[in-house]
Amino acid sequence: MQAQPSAPAALTLRQLLAHPDGRWLGGAVALSLALALASQWRLGSLAGFENLPPHAQAAWVDIALAFAQFPAMGWLGMRVFKFGLSAAGVRRFPNIARHLLGVLVHAIMLALAVRTVFDQSLDTVVAASGVITVVLGFALRSLVADLFSGIALSVDRDIGVDDIVEFNLKNRHVVGQIVEFNWRTFKIRDLNNQVMMIPNSEFSSLMVVNHSRSDAGCPCSVRFPLHARTDGERALRVIRGALNREVEEGRIAAKPEPHVEIAAAAPGSLALEVYFLPQPPHTEQRVVGAMYEAGLRDLRLAGMALAGAGDGPSGAATSATAEQVQAALAQAVGRVALLSVLTEAQRLQVVPHLIRHEPTEGATIVDEGDEGSSLFIILEGACEVKVRSGSDWRHVARLWPGDHFGEMSLLTGNPRSARVSMAAPGVLLELPKQALSELFDASPDLLAKISASVVARSEQADAVRKQVRLEAREANGSRVDALVQQMKRFFGLARR
């Protein structure tokens, strides 16, 4: 029982040594401790300057030892400060401010070392350093200008690291993200993934538009023309969902806030306009294309299409023919990875069994541990996946239109492995066990095909998450056989 209190201390020390700043802090502590012990051995005091003999009698080793303790203490103080910032979660502390603080601390410690060890007046030290400063300042005018410009920019709350800025530099138009700025330069990553280093004095003279902290608006847009009979509110929700997905996946900047507007509602037409800013290093051309593809894909899943498009239902779902609606739903089924082995005819055979749900935001679709025998396909909206972690729930993933969940419950009847709730209002399709039962009765070989697909996806996920070697081919075969037997029992095909 008495040994238990030492466990948290050991854990804290392990975490300290595992942290990059913690290792530097440990090195600074070790250096200061080593100098103190050496001073105790040589001079009989942990603070060597206390017992240092007169210079005429002192050995140069003792003088160097006493002098070194002062910059070592300054280094230790700065390491404690930096580790404290990291431990407190402060990530945007300007490098230039930290460097200036370090210069000030070390200057003070060196002055104290000269005063204490060499018994020199601080007035003499300050006067000598003043002359040196004037000479260096005149010789290094550009560096001094960069330094003071950097100080001014570091205290300016209207610009900072991660901001997306736009400016003209030497006849070149630049849009990029600030990745770092220090005592000398600004580092900006442009839309071509090139890092530019601009001197602080030059950057401070530019006219800069900060898209992350202003109302400058979003320079990029994508238009989706729809039929006037389309449900505008529903289409707006679908496009907003596609936009949110692009933001979460890091292709579109979260600031300035992207948005969707109704751009036109003339007789016979309806248009939605998406305004956004690419997130560097993604180029404008690629982000515009990705946003267009995401919106078009989600509109098709919802049974809508662009005006004039002939490859899907046009207008609202109510204006589409029954064949078009069935074809769109069959495509949604085909996007489920484990059902991709189904033929087009088999997918159409599944469509009548689909159950449509329109849950509201916050509704729980399945809960961890619940019994289930169906799969869900997301047509509209977004779902949040959580797993239990002690007494709390931990966020695992967010699912979007075209994604699905519940495949193992559909195939084997296993309890639900996570809680899935609606992050936004939407439309879900539920695929029950009965839909596959009829297919397995007609084509028993589907069992092996689907189980092999599930095992292959499981192995890929394990390799990514756990970074372990794939199991041997024989082990994969045994897993396929085991899953086939479990599916046969669940679907009542065990005797075949």
Fold category of 158-210 in CATH: SH3 type barrels. (2.30.30)
Least confident of 292-301, 416-425, 451-460: 451-460
- Exposed e or buried b per residue across 387-422, where buried means at least 16 C-beta atoms within 10 angstroms of its C-beta: eeeeeeeeeeeebbbbbbbbbbbbbbbbebbbbbbb
Q: Give the mean pLDDT of 445-469.
A: 65
**pTM, entire model:** 0.54
What pLDDT band is residue 267 in, cutting at 50, 70 and 90? low
Q: What gap in Å lies between CA 15 and CA 27, rounded to an integer?
A: 15
pLDDT tens readout for residues 361-417:
999 999 998 988 888 999 889 999 998 888 888 888 889 888 888 888 888 888 888
Answer yes or no: is pLDDT of 437 > 60: yes
More reliable by pLDDT, 341 or 121: 341
Q: What is the pLDDT of residue 56?
A: 55
Give the lowest-confidence range in 121-135, 304-318, 386-400, 454-468: 304-318
- Distance separating alpha carbons of residues 164 and 178, to the nearest angstrom: 6
As a CATH number, domain 220-320 is 3.30.70
Element (DSSP H or E) covering residue 340? none
Residue linked to tokens 């619940």: 370
DSSP string, 146-167: HHHHHHHHHT-TT--TT-EEEE
Domain ranges for the chain: 20-139, 158-210, 220-320, 329-489
Burial of 218 (0-12, 13-18, 19+ CB in 10 A): middle
Do 338 and 381 touch, CB atoms closer than 8 A? no
Mean pLDDT of 111-126: 70
220-320: same fold as 158-210?
A: no
| 310 Cβ neighbours under 8 A, 6+ residues apart | none
Interatomic CA distance for residues 414 and 373, integer angstroms:
8
Between strands 164-169 and 185-190, the pairing is: unpaired
Strand 392-399 versus strand 355-357 pairing type = unpaired
Sign of CA dihedral 303, 304, 309, 313: positive
- State the burial class of residue 89 (Cβ atoms within 10 Å of its Cβ: 0-12, 13-18, 19+): exposed
CATH number for the domain formed by residue range(s) 329-489: 2.60.120.10
Please write the tens of the pLDDT for every residue from 185-209.
889 988 777 888 988 888 888 888 8
| Alpha carbons 142 and 185: distance in angstroms, whole number | 12
Q: Which two tokens stand for residue 105?
A: 């601390």
